[in-house]
């Protein structure tokens, strides 16, 4: 179960926490559950006449915290006119990108089936030319054409419970992931000779110097410090790290999703790693000597993740984002 040198009381505590965490994490990621849910909402959209949504515009009010997030997701300023090529919800196929499609349609159904929009699925690391519904976008002041929705939630918004307390964890840093991106290659080169850092790519050939065997999320959670390194866009592991009892160590983020990575503050929610990874040793030594500082950051990171765990509240907020998109593009003026 674990290689940590724990007392039998701690081992018993970890065992029960691990059992509960494993079941909850398995259910949260269970593909069939998500596929059936996506198929159901797609069928609802596909066979609901678009004109019926005209009388369903009034959405429930948002909480104060959600109202603060709304203008960060949709920064569009009216009046805007969409160019030709925008689609209706029932025209979007579920045969490709089903996890994106299902999550997007939950924001559109049932109120906005008669409205047209552009969408981009996958890792969007550029600002679209036209206002588009996206999972990700670059962080910046000119990214308003990327309107964020919680897409591919099964992969990007999951929060498995950490069975370990910080005091139980081993003193070291860990990272696993693909490494074809230049910044990740630089990262692996920087960590190659650091004995406290267990970083590597399990997909490489076993004789590759950057190969390391696969570690599950729970095996990575055995470490006090978990590294989060962006790839094509955001780092997928960032959300579950910030929800854990480990300290997140990462460079300042360049991309953001529904998780609003742009709101994360160095020294508050994570420990900031230099872009050239030159301060790894310094960060490790500092937090090993100042564990209370690490715990303070972990507590604030945990508090940040809580706002994303209420599924019904997040869906309502996504519907308000869609409403803001259609209002800015002049499609709600007569409603």
Q: Can you give the residue ranges of every domain in the chain? A: 31-156+310-328, 158-306
What percent of the chain stands above pLDDT 90?
80
Angle at 143 between CA 137 and CA 148, to 5 degrees: 50
Task: Give the Cα separation of 246 and 216 in Å (integer).
Answer: 15
Task: Give the dihedral of Cα atoms 85, 38, 150, 312; nearest 10 deg.
Answer: 130
- Across residues 249-278, what is the average pLDDT? 98
Please give the model's pTM, rounded to 2 decimal places. 0.90
pLDDT for residue 2 is more than 90: no
- pLDDT of 1 reads 42
8 Å CB contact between 148 and 257: yes
- pLDDT of 213 reads 97
- Across residues 245-254, what is the average pLDDT? 98
Q: What is the mean pLDDT of the chain?
A: 92
Task: Please state which CATH number belongs to domain 158-306.
Answer: 3.40.50.2000
SS3 call for 227: strand
**Beta 197-200 vs 146-148: how paired, if at all?**
unpaired
- Higher pLDDT pick, 78 / 226: 226
- pLDDT of 155 reads 85
Fill in the DSSP letter of residue 112.
Answer: T
Kindly give the residue spans of alpha helices, DSSP state H, lying in the chain: 8-29, 31-46, 64-73, 98-108, 153-156, 182-191, 217-220, 238-242, 280-289, 291-306, 311-328
- pLDDT of 4 reads 66
At 115-170, the pLDDT tens digits run 999 999 999 999 999 999 999 999 999 999 999 999 999 888 889 999 999 999 99
- Give Dmax (Cα) for the chain: 67
- pLDDT of 292 reads 98
Task: Give the Cα separation of 84 and 277 in Å (integer).
Answer: 45
Tokens of 35: 């596929």
pLDDT for residue 54 is more than 70: no
């Amino acid at each position: 179960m674990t290689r940590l040198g724990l007392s039998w009381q701690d081992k018993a505590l970890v065992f029960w926490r691990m059992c509960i965490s494993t079941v909850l994490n398995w259910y949260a990621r269970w593909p069939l559950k998500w596929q059936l849910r996506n198929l159901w909402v797609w069928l609802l959209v596909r066979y609901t006449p678009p004109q019926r949504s005209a009388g369903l515009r009034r959405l429930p009010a948002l909480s104060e915290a959600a109202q603060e997030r709304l203008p960060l997701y949709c920064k569009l300023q009216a009046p805007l006119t969409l160019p030709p090529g925008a689609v209706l919800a029932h025209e979007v196929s579920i045969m490709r990108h089903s996890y994106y499609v299902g999550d997007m349609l939950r924001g559109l159904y049932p109120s906005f089936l008669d409205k047209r929009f552009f969408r981009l699925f996958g890792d969007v690391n550029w600002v679209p030319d036209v206002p588009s519904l996206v999972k990700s976008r670059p962080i910046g002041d000119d990214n308003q054409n990327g309107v964020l929705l919680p897409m591919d939630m099964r992969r990007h918004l999951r929060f498995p419970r950490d069975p370990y307390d910080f005091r139980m964890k081993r003193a070291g840093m860990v990272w696993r992931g693909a490494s074809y991106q230049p910044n990740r290659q630089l990262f692996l080169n920087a960590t190659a000779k650091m004995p406290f850092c267990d970083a590597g790519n399990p997909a490489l050939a076993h004789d590759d110097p950057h190969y390391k065997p696969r570690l599950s999320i729970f095996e990575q959670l055995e470490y006090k410090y978990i590294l989060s390194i962006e790839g094509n866009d955001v780092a997928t592991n960032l959300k579950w790290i910030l929800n854990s009892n480990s300290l997140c160590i990462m460079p300042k983020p360049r991309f953001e999703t529904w998780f609003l990575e742009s709101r994360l503050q160095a020294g508050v929610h994570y420990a900031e790693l230099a872009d050239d990874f030159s301060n790894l040793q310094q960060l490790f030594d500092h937090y090993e000597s100042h564990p209370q500082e690490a715990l303070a950051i972990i507590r604030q990171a945990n508090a940040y993740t809580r706002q994303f765990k209420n599924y019904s509240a997040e869906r309502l907020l996504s519907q308000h984002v869609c409403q803001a998109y259609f209002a800015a593009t002049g499609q709600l003026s007569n409603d």
